[in-house]
Amino acid sequence: MNKTVLVLPLATAVTLSGCSQQPVKPSTTAFANKAPALYVKLRDPDPPHPAKPKKKHRSAHHHRDLWHRLFALYRLPQVNHPRVREELKWYAANPEYLERIQQRARPHLYTIVEEIERHGLPGELALLPVIESAFEPHARSPKQAVGLWQFIPSTGEQYGLKQNQWVDLRQDVHASTRAAIRYLKKLYADFGDWLLALAAYNAGEGRVMQEIVKNRILYRPTDFWHLDLPEETKAYVPKLLAVAQVFKHAEQFGIALHPLPNRPLYARVDVGAQIDLALAARLADMALEEVQRLNPGFRRRVTAPDGPHRLVLPLEKVELFEERLAQLPKSRWTNFNPYPQQARARYVAFPMSSQALSESQARQSTKTLSSANGSNRSLGQVQTQPQVKIHVVRSGETLWAVARRYGMEVRKLMRLNGLRSNTGLRVGQRLRVIARGSDPLRTARWGSLADG
């Protein structure tokens, strides 16, 4: 693969050396009277790491709060630019937005900070999902970019994010975070400047390089602030710089920063075979919707036949899940029916806690049916008609957020309203929803895991 290499006159090269991480001060005369750069084709070497990863030492986990650990990793320049100031004002005026961001980021931020620190990247990059997706794993752009890091299909495939009828790893937080870090490191290796790398992440390498070449020809500066990039990209980098500072200096901006423990809250469990997510939820004493929320990469209610079979579960649920899973043969991992319509021959019952029961979409008053030997089994079989309501879309709401609010699956909400996967919502749009708790298919306090 060939790569365009920039060759500068010696004086210019000395002037620019080592300044990519310094505060940018826009200047219209910075490159006056400098000879234009030459471009030559060379073989593309292995891209260097932006910073040699440091071995973990005590300071990595010295901070009790994850936010403080993240702030200690900040390395991007603090730029006093009008666009940054404009974004700072917006964030300060919209504290409810940052409140939602913190709630969405809570399950994922530790994982992201761990990877960012392990690869030696600036800590601010851990907040890039704020700009890309508002920390919404199900976010989808009109250009079919998906997930926290908003990979389009082709780039996702290029970085190993499998997409098929079973999974979309662009929505898998662990997989997409690793892919995003690889991509960002590649961009930094190409441009040698983090602001240009971020611009390329948004607008594409080709567009950024095109504007750099154009400015060179016109004897203009080639830092981010002087490139003629799309308006979205011009706002993209300032947004990241601003939100990083707002979180770091939350008190000054009147933002309530909620503490986050600097330790894992969730664990990945590799079960090694295909498993029904509803069964996994029952074994872990969780609501199905919570398991799906923590595992957004699965497109169906069952893991893919050929994997991955890794489930993200709350740390305190892992032992219980593994203990119960060991009691079931693998033949029963994928034929679990959480809504049995009739009594079956044998059952394995696990009591749900009152908390999990209250969070579950399938709350109900249960019917008790008598089995052949006269004992009673609570099967959760209720024949009622679902109650359809109208939801009026508010600013910032997504299909996933509406579906979650009413305990529905996104696909069911889309079918009910005749929507396509790439349909955007409009403020004031009226959506038909099924009222939480009115679905006739319900689970019981004692869930029956019937034999296949």
Tokens of 300: 């169906």
Question: pLDDT digit string (tens) for 380-431?
Answer: 333 345 678 888 888 767 887 788 778 788 888 888 888 875 567 777 788 8
- CA 147, CA 168: separation in Å to the nearest integer? 9
Give me the domains of the chain, ranges plus CATH numbers. Answer: 2-248 (1.10.530.10), 266-383+442-450 (no CATH), 388-434 (3.10.350.10)
Question: Looking at residue 425, what is its pLDDT?
Answer: 78
Catalytic residue check, 132: yes
CA atoms of 107 and 90, how far apart (whole Å):
25
Rounded-to-integer distance, Cα 281 and Cα 384, Å: 24
Residue 208 pLDDT: 97
Radius of gyration, alpha carbons of the chain: 26
Query: Which residues lie below 8 Å from residue 323, measured CB to CB, with a gap of 6+?
Result: none
Percent of the chain with pLDDT over 70: 70
Cis previous bond, 308, omega within 30? yes
Residues of the chain with pLDDT under 70: 1-61, 335-386, 396, 421-423, 435-452
* pLDDT at residue 345 in the model: 32
pLDDT attached to residue 62: 75
Alpha carbon distance 284, 278 (integer Å):
10
- Residue 399: the pLDDT is 81
Active-site residue, selected from the candidate residues 87, 117, 124, 132? 132
d(CA 320, CA 167) in angstroms, rounded, equals: 26
CA atoms within 13 A on the CB side of 310: 12
Would you give the DSSP letter of residue 212? H
Longest dimension (CA), the chain: 96
DSSP label at 178?
Answer: H
